[in-house]
Amino acid sequence: MEFINVIAAAVAAFAFGAAWYMSFAKPWMAATGMTQEQQDGAGSGPYILAFVGAVLTAGMMRHIFVAANIEGIGAGIVSGFGIGAFIAAPWIINNCAFEGRSKSLMLINGGYAAGGCTIIGLVLNLF
């Protein structure tokens, strides 16, 4: 049953990511320097990697939640947000900073990490 929870959490995070990046499509493309044509030509590879990454993140978060006895929807949301905002997002922001990327890209990508982990934490504790 836990495998199904991990997959459900990954699907929810992936869906959140689709909505997040669709809502920030123009500023994200401007911050990355990509054109719509480049984005359209990327194929399915980035989406496959994004889903695999969501599965790995959800699986590790499940492991952490079990080890730390994190139970309940509220605890899942708070813990997921904490992991995203205070572990994943700073790492992403660090990478962007050293790559000379804009603050807007740091906020867009870091915000996705915080929101996606929050969604994973919620879904993992729904069941």
- Tell me if 67 is assigned to some domain: yes
Query: Residue 53: which H helix or E strand, with range?
Result: helix 45-67
Question: Tell me, what's the pLDDT at 127?
Answer: 82
Residue 80 belongs to a domain: yes
Report the number of distinct structural domains present in the chain: 1
User: Between vectors from CA 52 to CA 121 and to CA 113, what angle results, nearest 5°?
Assistant: 45
Assess if residue 38 is contained within a domain.
no
Q: Which pLDDT score, from 0 to 100, does residue 39 have?
A: 84
pTM of the model: 0.94
At 72, the pLDDT band (50, 70, 90 cuts) reads very high
Whether residue 34 lies inside any domain: the answer is no
Query: What was the pLDDT predicted at 40?
Result: 83
Report if residue 37 sits inside a domain: no
Residue range of the domain that includes 72: 2-23+44-124
In a domain, 79, yes or no: yes
DSSP-derived secondary structure letter, 42: T
Average pLDDT on 104-111 reads: 98
Q: Is residue 31 part of a domain?
A: no
Q: Is residue 28 part of a domain?
A: no
Is the model more confident about 127 or about 66? 66
